[in-house]
Amino acid sequence: MGKGIADDAIRPLLRALDDAPVHVKQLAEMFRKHGQKQKRNTSDVQNLDSAGVVHPLQDGWKRDGKWEPDEVVAWGKGNRPDPSEYLEADYIKKHLDQFENGATRIYKKDSLDDWGPGNNGTTYVFPTDQLDAVIKAADGDPVKLSEALGLPADFFVGAEVELRDFAPHELDGLQMPSGNEGGTDADMWIPGGYLPSGIPEAVISIPETATGLNNGGFEPSFWPGSPRGLDL
């Protein structure tokens, strides 16, 4: 088969991307770059244009030109601006509303026991209902689950895994991630509160008593959240 069919499918999408705002082009490139799927065919080509950006984020970026996605990322972990400087207030509110029924974090149990549920006073979380849907779709396959969460494919292979559910009243300091938090992957983080797979994420505050055997020795009874096992 010649390349003509693929070209005919791709060319209109590339033109659509050419017409997209600069911030959408940059976000599309970030989602494409950091996505876990390495092989695509022409039926997946819609993921290569601006439609690959989670739709609310396409419209949630401020149009004042003060910040572009590449610039936010380039400032580096520890120096990135507050999301309110480049995201619309309504977008941030709607994003955090997704966590109104509670949030969940997934851990390797040995790391959780050693260090507790936080990292320098915060932890990333997902809406409980949406994470449960991802876990159900993975159907016990640790590789599928790892990839859906933007982690190396073997991250959960052979590991004992534990979920920690945080009730709505335990979501202290719930906020949009800035990319400066402990536990942020400096090379893979994308501004806007979504993983490349489209799963929303946020950050909550973790108290000083939420430590593990290697950094303070507080037991889980001092931690926020409730444990839940997960078999993979």
Taking only the tens of pLDDT, the chain with its 232 residues reads 444 544 454 445 445 555 678 888 899 888 888 774 433 333 343 444 455 788 889 889 998 889 999 999 999 999 999 999 999 999 999 999 999 999 999 999 999 999 999 999 999 999 999 999 999 999 999 999 988 888 888 999 999 999 999 999 999 999 999 999 998 987 889 999 998 888 999 999 999 999 999 998 888 989 999 999 898 8
What predicted TM-score, i.e. pTM, was given to this entire model?
0.83
Where exactly are the structural domains of the chain?
4-85, 92-230
* Interval 137-187: pLDDT, tens: 999 999 999 888 888 889 999 999 999 999 999 999 999 999 999 989 878
H or E segment and range at residue 204 = strand 202-205
> Across the strands, what pairs with 204?
123
CA distances from 133 to 18, 66, 76, 90, 148 (A): 34, 37, 32, 26, 11
